[in-house]
Amino acid sequence: MSTVKTAVLVSGGGTNLQALIDAKAADKLPHVEFVSVIASRPDAYALTRAANAGIPTCVAQRKGKTQEAFEAAILDELNQKQAQLIILAGFMSILSENFVKRYPRRILNVHPALLPAFGGKGYYGLHVHEAALARGVKVTGATVHYVNEIADGGEIILQKAVDVLPGDTPVILQRRVMEQAEWIILPQAAELTAQDILQR
Protein backbone atom coordinates (compact mmCIF):
# COMPACT_ATOMS: atom_id res chain seq x y z
CA MET A 1 0.00 0.00 0.00
CA SER A 2 1.32 3.44 -0.91
CA THR A 3 1.86 5.99 1.83
CA VAL A 4 2.41 9.74 1.92
CA LYS A 5 5.54 10.96 3.67
CA THR A 6 4.30 13.34 6.34
CA ALA A 7 6.02 15.90 8.56
CA VAL A 8 4.37 17.31 11.67
CA LEU A 9 5.30 20.81 12.83
CA VAL A 10 4.99 21.49 16.56
CA SER A 11 5.82 24.08 19.18
CA GLY A 12 4.73 22.74 22.57
CA GLY A 13 3.40 19.73 24.41
CA GLY A 14 2.34 17.77 21.36
CA THR A 15 -1.13 16.60 22.37
CA ASN A 16 -2.34 16.80 18.77
CA LEU A 17 0.81 14.98 17.68
CA GLN A 18 0.00 12.25 20.22
CA ALA A 19 -3.48 11.93 18.71
CA LEU A 20 -1.86 11.34 15.32
CA ILE A 21 0.61 8.83 16.78
CA ASP A 22 -2.22 6.98 18.52
CA ALA A 23 -4.30 6.94 15.32
CA LYS A 24 -1.36 5.48 13.42
CA ALA A 25 -0.89 2.80 16.07
CA ALA A 26 -4.60 1.96 15.79
CA ASP A 27 -4.30 1.47 12.00
CA LYS A 28 -6.43 4.54 11.29
CA LEU A 29 -3.77 6.17 9.10
CA PRO A 30 -2.90 3.48 6.56
CA HIS A 31 -1.79 6.01 3.93
CA VAL A 32 0.22 8.27 6.27
CA GLU A 33 3.90 7.70 7.04
CA PHE A 34 5.43 10.03 9.64
CA VAL A 35 8.96 10.90 8.51
CA SER A 36 9.74 13.88 10.75
CA VAL A 37 8.52 15.96 13.67
CA ILE A 38 9.91 19.48 13.43
CA ALA A 39 9.78 21.70 16.52
CA SER A 40 10.19 25.47 16.65
CA ARG A 41 11.51 25.17 20.22
CA PRO A 42 14.15 22.76 21.53
CA ASP A 43 12.24 22.26 24.80
CA ALA A 44 8.98 21.21 23.12
CA TYR A 45 7.72 18.04 24.82
CA ALA A 46 6.35 17.00 21.43
CA LEU A 47 9.94 16.00 20.56
CA THR A 48 9.85 13.43 23.38
CA ARG A 49 6.52 12.08 22.17
CA ALA A 50 7.95 11.70 18.66
CA ALA A 51 11.11 9.99 19.91
CA ASN A 52 9.04 7.58 22.01
CA ALA A 53 7.11 6.66 18.85
CA GLY A 54 10.29 6.19 16.82
CA ILE A 55 9.70 9.22 14.59
CA PRO A 56 12.79 11.23 13.57
CA THR A 57 12.91 14.73 15.04
CA CYS A 58 14.40 18.06 14.10
CA VAL A 59 14.56 21.47 15.80
CA ALA A 60 14.18 24.52 13.58
CA GLN A 61 14.39 27.18 16.26
CA ARG A 62 12.38 30.33 15.64
CA LYS A 63 13.87 32.48 18.38
CA GLY A 64 16.70 34.72 17.23
CA LYS A 65 16.34 33.90 13.55
CA THR A 66 15.01 35.80 10.57
CA GLN A 67 11.88 34.42 8.93
CA GLU A 68 14.02 33.38 5.96
CA ALA A 69 16.55 31.47 8.06
CA PHE A 70 13.80 29.83 10.12
CA GLU A 71 11.92 28.64 7.06
CA ALA A 72 15.14 27.54 5.33
CA ALA A 73 15.83 25.20 8.25
CA ILE A 74 12.34 23.72 7.98
CA LEU A 75 12.60 23.35 4.22
CA ASP A 76 15.95 21.61 4.53
CA GLU A 77 14.41 18.96 6.79
CA LEU A 78 11.32 18.61 4.60
CA ASN A 79 13.47 18.15 1.52
CA GLN A 80 15.80 15.65 3.20
CA LYS A 81 12.82 13.56 4.30
CA GLN A 82 11.00 14.08 0.95
CA ALA A 83 7.88 15.18 2.84
CA GLN A 84 4.73 15.32 0.75
CA LEU A 85 2.29 16.45 3.47
CA ILE A 86 2.76 18.90 6.33
CA ILE A 87 0.56 18.96 9.42
CA LEU A 88 0.64 21.98 11.72
CA ALA A 89 -0.18 20.51 15.12
CA GLY A 90 0.03 23.28 17.68
CA PHE A 91 2.66 25.06 15.60
CA MET A 92 2.73 28.62 16.92
CA SER A 93 4.88 30.28 14.25
CA ILE A 94 3.60 32.00 11.13
CA LEU A 95 4.75 30.63 7.78
CA SER A 96 5.26 33.06 4.92
CA GLU A 97 3.27 33.15 1.71
CA ASN A 98 6.36 32.00 -0.21
CA PHE A 99 6.68 28.94 2.03
CA VAL A 100 3.02 28.01 1.78
CA LYS A 101 2.99 28.34 -2.02
CA ARG A 102 5.51 25.51 -2.23
CA TYR A 103 2.94 23.06 -0.82
CA PRO A 104 -0.47 23.77 -2.36
CA ARG A 105 -3.20 21.71 -0.66
CA ARG A 106 -0.50 19.92 1.30
CA ILE A 107 -0.41 21.88 4.57
CA LEU A 108 -3.06 21.06 7.17
CA ASN A 109 -3.81 23.22 10.19
CA VAL A 110 -6.09 22.50 13.13
CA HIS A 111 -7.90 25.45 14.70
CA PRO A 112 -9.82 25.24 18.00
CA ALA A 113 -13.04 26.84 16.73
CA LEU A 114 -15.65 26.43 14.02
CA LEU A 115 -14.15 28.69 11.36
CA PRO A 116 -14.88 31.34 10.28
CA ALA A 117 -15.93 32.04 13.88
CA PHE A 118 -13.05 33.04 16.16
CA GLY A 119 -10.42 32.90 13.44
CA GLY A 120 -7.81 35.33 12.26
CA LYS A 121 -5.23 37.50 13.98
CA GLY A 122 -5.02 37.02 17.73
CA TYR A 123 -7.20 33.92 17.80
CA TYR A 124 -4.91 31.13 18.93
CA GLY A 125 -4.58 28.82 21.91
CA LEU A 126 -6.58 29.78 24.98
CA HIS A 127 -7.57 33.13 23.45
CA VAL A 128 -10.02 31.32 21.17
CA HIS A 129 -11.86 29.75 24.10
CA GLU A 130 -11.82 32.99 26.10
CA ALA A 131 -13.47 34.71 23.13
CA ALA A 132 -16.07 31.96 22.71
CA LEU A 133 -17.08 32.20 26.37
CA ALA A 134 -17.12 36.00 26.29
CA ARG A 135 -19.43 35.89 23.25
CA GLY A 136 -21.73 33.48 25.05
CA VAL A 137 -21.89 30.87 22.30
CA LYS A 138 -23.57 27.56 23.09
CA VAL A 139 -21.57 25.54 20.57
CA THR A 140 -17.92 25.72 19.57
CA GLY A 141 -15.61 23.07 18.12
CA ALA A 142 -12.59 22.60 15.89
CA THR A 143 -11.69 22.90 12.23
CA VAL A 144 -9.03 21.28 10.09
CA HIS A 145 -8.26 23.26 6.96
CA TYR A 146 -5.73 23.58 4.19
CA VAL A 147 -3.41 26.53 4.63
CA ASN A 148 -3.14 28.62 1.49
CA GLU A 149 -1.20 31.72 0.55
CA ILE A 150 -3.89 33.96 2.05
CA ALA A 151 -2.79 34.56 5.63
CA ASP A 152 -5.81 33.17 7.49
CA GLY A 153 -7.59 31.50 4.62
CA GLY A 154 -7.84 27.95 3.55
CA GLU A 155 -10.30 25.37 2.39
CA ILE A 156 -12.08 23.61 5.25
CA ILE A 157 -11.67 19.84 5.26
CA LEU A 158 -13.45 18.78 8.46
CA GLN A 159 -15.26 20.43 11.36
CA LYS A 160 -16.70 18.99 14.56
CA ALA A 161 -18.98 20.78 17.00
CA VAL A 162 -18.62 20.67 20.78
CA ASP A 163 -21.13 21.94 23.34
CA VAL A 164 -20.26 24.80 25.66
CA LEU A 165 -21.49 23.87 29.13
CA PRO A 166 -22.51 25.97 32.14
CA GLY A 167 -19.54 26.67 34.37
CA ASP A 168 -16.98 26.24 31.59
CA THR A 169 -13.69 28.06 31.97
CA PRO A 170 -11.36 28.62 29.02
CA VAL A 171 -9.12 25.77 30.24
CA ILE A 172 -12.00 23.32 30.70
CA LEU A 173 -13.45 24.23 27.32
CA GLN A 174 -10.06 23.94 25.64
CA ARG A 175 -9.66 20.40 26.97
CA ARG A 176 -13.15 19.37 25.82
CA VAL A 177 -12.56 20.76 22.33
CA MET A 178 -9.29 18.85 22.09
CA GLU A 179 -10.75 15.56 23.33
CA GLN A 180 -14.08 15.70 21.47
CA ALA A 181 -12.99 17.43 18.26
CA GLU A 182 -9.31 18.13 17.52
CA TRP A 183 -7.98 14.69 18.40
CA ILE A 184 -10.69 13.06 16.27
CA ILE A 185 -10.79 15.17 13.12
CA LEU A 186 -7.06 15.86 12.75
CA PRO A 187 -6.19 12.19 12.09
CA GLN A 188 -9.27 11.85 9.87
CA ALA A 189 -8.22 14.87 7.81
CA ALA A 190 -4.66 13.56 7.55
CA GLU A 191 -5.84 10.25 6.12
CA LEU A 192 -8.29 11.93 3.73
CA THR A 193 -5.58 14.29 2.48
CA ALA A 194 -3.05 11.48 2.07
CA GLN A 195 -5.56 9.54 -0.04
CA ASP A 196 -6.22 12.68 -2.09
CA ILE A 197 -2.48 13.23 -2.68
CA LEU A 198 -2.04 9.63 -3.84
CA GLN A 199 -4.85 10.09 -6.35
CA ARG A 200 -3.59 13.37 -7.81
Contacts of 154 (CB under 8 A, 6+ apart): 109, 145, 146, 147, 148
The neighbour count for residue 3, using CB atoms within 10 Å, is 15
Q: Active-site residue among 111, 127, 129, 145?
A: 111
Does residue 111 carry a catalytic annotation?
Answer: yes
What is the helix, strand, coil percentage profile of the chain, to 5? 40, 20, 40
Beta bridge partners of 9: 38, 88
Sign of the four-CA dihedral 49, 41, 36, 95: positive
CA distance 130 to 146: 25
What is the chain's Cα-based Rg? Answer: 16
Helix residue spans in the chain (DSSP H) = 15-25, 46-52, 67-80, 97-101, 126-135, 170-177, 183-199
Distances (CA, A) of 42 to 59, 78, 82, 90: 6, 18, 23, 15
DSSP secondary-structure letter at 118?
T
Catalytic residue IDs: 111
